[in-house]
Amino acid sequence: MLGFARFAELCERISQTSGSLEKTDILASFLSDLEPDDLRIVTGFVMGVVIPNTELGVGPSLLYESICKATGLSPEAIKELLRATGDPGLVAYRAVERRKPLTLAAFSGSDGLDIKNVHQRFLSIAKASGRGSQDIRVKNLQYLFSEASPLEAKYIARLAMEDMRIGVGEGLVRDAIAKAFGASKEDVERAYNLTNDLGLVAEHAKLKRLNELGISINRPIKMMLAQIGESIEASLAEGATAVEWKFDGARVQIHKDGTNIRIFSRRLEDVTSSLPEIREIVRAHVRAKTAILDGEAVATGEDGRPLPFQEILRRFRRKYGVARTAKRIPLSLHLFDIIYVDGVSLLDAPLEERRGVLVSVADPEIIAEQVVTSDVSRVEGIYREALAAGHEGVMLKNPASVYSPGKRGKNWLKIKPLLESLDLVVIGARWGEGKRANLLGSYRLACIDSDTGELKDVGWVATGITDEMLAELTEIFRELIIKESGMEVEVHPQIVFEVGYEEIQRSPNYSSGYALRFPRLIAVRDDKSPSEADTLERISEIYRLQRGRSKNEELLK
Ligand code: AMP
């Protein structure tokens, strides 16, 4: 049995260590001693993944309500602690320190919380749905806070927020697993990309069975991603000669297991119940018994053009009234890849071959058209057609390339007319003035520095937000406020904005070293988690590529 206190002490030690090598060593030695069950839980917990592939659904206000109930402190006292510390973990720590009266557990000399018990409580929280779910969430958290020591409470609060703030990300955990169990980093990474579950990977590494982990039906695998192509010409010269439209929709990974069909979003969340017609389409048009298919779901308006991304998200998020929304925003499916068929993995088969399999198991009306050509003007023609139909541009893929889960590489290149929009994490906001005094009107944006995992700011966005959205956003962000100073607030980094802009400039004013010129909000990317936001590297890459842009724009004239 692993006491939760030992886990909390581990987190504390890691957070007080600055070098990532040292952090890795501490974590590796902790992991190497654990029983497989505990190992699985700890591996997720250290990076704030409480239940893999599932969101907990706990917001700050629910957290604070539970702390109030467990400690007997008033909401005002909690607010005061929040103002003083600016950190939900420290709020929990101090509140539990002041907890009165002592709980029965303290008198009865109970052994305290063990990590399985904490995991079990979070599982109940994640599973809660429908009426009464808030209550279930509060009760479980309340239990944890009333049993916890201050230090345990600190990390329970951070787990509840799915944000550990100890400087441990996926990369570090992967390295620690490799080190703890003498596996190669490549094998660990491969296993992770195939399973999307580092706990499972750690367990297999311990048992020396990493190579047994592979693609498995009903378990989402990381999606292959695309890089920005410099131009059509340059992309073709790289060998990316299989040309498809870049559809303006949302990514779906579909697992067909006989008549059972499950759909995963780009974040690898199970969205099956929100997308009944996609399930029907697959049932009607895919002949393979088992298959993992990759494609784009597009919402089409009455004019036959794709609806804005925001509308599709409505479909993906919908839990109630699914049929009604499906009627208003019908989706169509455009498959462009297949990675598993009738018991056989196609990951290592070249795209050409995978495409052949796709064509043989699915009807043409649900397959994205593909043309293989090295003729620049032909590709330009396809590009114009895609844009005229309201889609984003084209994807140029290397026909000889394997499917690389979780990788953004040169084998898939995207060509879009304007500068890439950026997905940035909102880390702060500013209250408006005059009529907008009660509204959060501008939002401070940050990208991820992938070396350190830190968020680096790139400026503010205030354009592109309607009055209606402003009210909605204010409600969302009010819940996430960590600290207020004057007109500005700091918010919990949880929401991702897709932001368009005219240009990226160098700037000493922001910690990223860059600023966006004329930023405007395009969409709130509920489908993306902060860890998926764009990186500083990407921003400097776009900064560099800006010069090549004029070429693509000319095509539109
Ligand atoms: P981005 O999100 O800009 O990095 O572009 C990659 C995304 O484009 C993928 O995740 C898909 O959702 C989408 N997409 C649209 N059409 C295609 C296509 N033909 N092949 C691959 N991805 C596509």
The answer for residues whose C-beta is within 8 angstroms of residue 159's C-beta and 6 or more apart is 45, 48, 50, 118, 122
pLDDT tens digits along 164-209:
999 998 899 999 999 999 999 999 999 999 998 999 999 999 999 9
Which residue, by CA, sits nearest to atom 5 of ligand 1?
226
Ligand 1 lined by 296 (C-beta under 6 Å):
yes
Task: Identify the CA nearest to 350 among candidates 395, 399, 396, 291.
Answer: 399
Residue 525 near ligand 1, beta carbon < 6 Å: no
Decide: 225 and 407 in contact? Cβ < 8 Å. Answer: yes
- Residue 264, strand partner residues: 253, 270
State the amino acid at position 204 in one-letter form: H
Whether ligand 1 lies within 6 angstroms of the CB of 122 is answered as no
8 Å CB contact between 294 and 341: no
Q: Is the CB of 397 under 6 A from ligand 1?
A: no
Assess whether the C-beta atom of 246 lies below 6 angstroms from ligand 1: yes
User: For ligand 1, is residue 121 a contact (CB within 6 Å)?
Assistant: no
Tokens representing 26? 């501490």
Ligand 1 neighbour 244 (Cβ under 6 A)? yes
Q: Identify any residues that bridge with 255 across adjacent strands, giving them in sequence order.
A: 262, 292
Q: Walk along the chain (557 residues) and give the pLDDT tens digit of each residue.
A: 899 999 999 999 999 998 899 999 999 999 999 999 999 999 999 999 999 877 788 989 999 999 999 999 999 999 999 988 888 999 999 999 998 665 555 544 456 899 999 999 999 999 998 889 999 999 999 999 999 999 999 999 999 999 999 999 889 999 999 999 999 999 999 999 999 899 999 999 999 999 999 999 999 999 999 988 878 999 999 999 999 999 999 999 999 999 999 999 998 888 998 999 999 999 999 999 999 999 999 998 888 889 877 788 888 877 778 888 888 889 999 999 999 999 999 999 999 999 999 999 999 999 999 999 999 999 999 998 998 898 989 999 999 999 999 988 899 999 987 667 899 999 999 998 877 888 998 999 999 998 888 999 999 999 878 888 899 999 999 989 998 888 999 999 999 999 988 778 889 999 999 999 878 888 899 889 999 999 999 998 888 776 444 434 433 33
CA distance 145 to 157: 9
Q: Where are the beta strands (DSSP E) in 229-343?
A: 242-246, 250-257, 260-264, 290-299, 331-341
Question: Residue with structure tokens 């060593």?
Answer: 25
Residue 179 annotated as catalytic: no
CA 327 to ligand 1 centroid distance, Å: 25
Q: What's the length of the chain?
A: 557
Question: Ligand 1 atom 12: the closest Cα is on which residue?
Answer: 251
Instruction: State which of 224, 246, 253, 538 you would mutate to test the pocket of ligand 1, scoring each by most atoms of that ligand within 8 A of its C-beta.
Output: 246
Mutate which of 243, 244, 245, 247 for ligand 1? The one with the most ligand atoms within 8 Å of its CB, which is 247
pLDDT tens by residue, 374-404: 999 999 999 989 988 989 899 999 999 999 9
Q: Which of 154, 179, 246, 397 is catalytic?
A: 246
Q: From ligand 1's centre to the CA of 247, what distance in Å? A: 7
Q: Which protein residue's CA is at the shortest distance from atom 6 of ligand 1?
A: 226
